[in-house]
Amino acid sequence: MTDTSLPSITASRHPLLWPLLASLLIIGWSSGFVGIRYANKEASVMLLLFWRTLLSGLILLPFALAIGPGISMRAVRDQALFGIMAVFLYLGGFALAIEQKVPTGLVALIADLLPLAIAVLSQPVLGERLTARQWLGTAIAVIGVLIVSFDSLGFGTAPVWAYALTVGSMLIFAVASVLHRKRKTLHMPVHQSLCIQTLMGSVLFGLCALTQGSLIPPMTRDFAVGMIWLVLIATFLAYAVYYTSLRLFPVAKVSAAIYLSPPVTMLWAWMLFSEPLTFAMFVGLVVTLVGVWMTSRT
C-alpha cells in the first residue's frame, strides 16, 4: 500500500473532514456482516470472497489504467504483497476460522481489537506516541466493545490453531496498516492500489475455492444483493476511506473509529434482519463512543 500523502495542513483547514471520514469508515467497516449475511446462504465463504475481490478488482481496473500515473512492475509487486496481507490473509484467515467452528462472536471480538494492536505498533514503527488520555480512551473503547460482544461470546470446540489464526489475521492487518502509513517511496492513488490488491486476493481466494468445488456463483437474488453490498460498501467504501484516512491522520486515530464497528453492526442487524437490540448493546455503544472520542480528540 503506497502513499500519496496530502499536506497535513489539509486536515487542519477542514475540521469536519475527520468526522465525515470516520462516519463513512464506520458504516463501511460494519457493513461487511450484511453482505455476508445475504451472500453466504448458498455459497462457501471462499467462493464468496473470490467473487467479492474479483468483481471489485475488475470494476476498478479500467479506472486504474486510465486515471492516474503509469503503473510500474515495482508498484504491482508492492501492492500485490500488501494485497496478500490486507485482503487474502486478513479476510481469509477469519473466514477459515469461522469454517473451523470458532464462534462468530469471538472472531468478531478479536477482529475488533485491531485498533489496539495498531496503537501498540504505531509507536515503535512510526514514532506516533499516544498520550495518557489516548491510552485511557483506548481502554474505555475496548471495554465498550466487550460489553457489546459479551452475549455472543463463546469458545466452542475448534482446534487450537484456528483460534491462533484469528489473532494472526488481526495482527497481519495491523502490520499492513502501519506499513501503509510509513511507506512513502511510491505514489499511487487509492483506486489503483486497491485494484491490484483485490485482484491479487481474487487469485488466491479462487485457488482456495477451487479446492472446494466450482467457481460458478449461485444465480440467486440474495447472492447478487450480497455481492453488490460487499463490493460497493464493504470493499470500495471501507477500504478506500480507510487508506485515505491513513494518509491524512495518525494511524491510531484512524483505527480507533473501528471500535464502533460492533455496535453499528448490531444496528444493521436490527434494521435489516429484525435482530433484537439489548440494553447492554446501548450501554456498550455509549462507552465505546466515549473511548473513541478520547482517543481521537486532538
pLDDT tens digits for range 259-271: 887 778 778 878 8
* Model pLDDT, residue 231: 93
What pLDDT, in 10s, does the model give residues 13-67? 567 788 888 889 888 888 877 777 777 777 888 899 999 999 999 999 999 999 9
Provide the pLDDT confidence category of residue 183 given band limits of 50, 70 and 90.
Answer: low
Which positions ≥6 away from 86 have C-beta within 8 Å?
A: 1, 172, 173, 176, 177, 197
The answer as to whether 1 is a domain residue is no
Neighbours of 187 (CB within 10 A): 13
Backbone angles phi, psi at 41, to 5 degrees: -70, -35
The answer as to whether 115 is a domain residue is yes
**What domain range includes position 52?**
15-296
* Model pLDDT, residue 64: 92
The answer as to whether 29 is a domain residue is yes
* Model pLDDT, residue 185: 45
What whole-number distance in Å separates Cα of residue 280 and Cα of residue 286? 10
Q: Which of 38, 141, 150 is nearest to 103 (CA)?
A: 150
The answer as to whether 10 is a domain residue is no
The answer as to whether 44 is a domain residue is yes
Which positions ≥6 away from 3 have C-beta within 8 Å?
A: 180, 181, 183, 184, 186, 187, 247
Backbone angles phi, psi at 202, to 5 degrees: -65, -35
What pLDDT, in 10s, does the model give residues 98-126? 777 776 667 777 777 788 788 778 776 66
Position with higher pLDDT, 188 vs 81: 81
Please tell me the total count of domains within the chain.
1
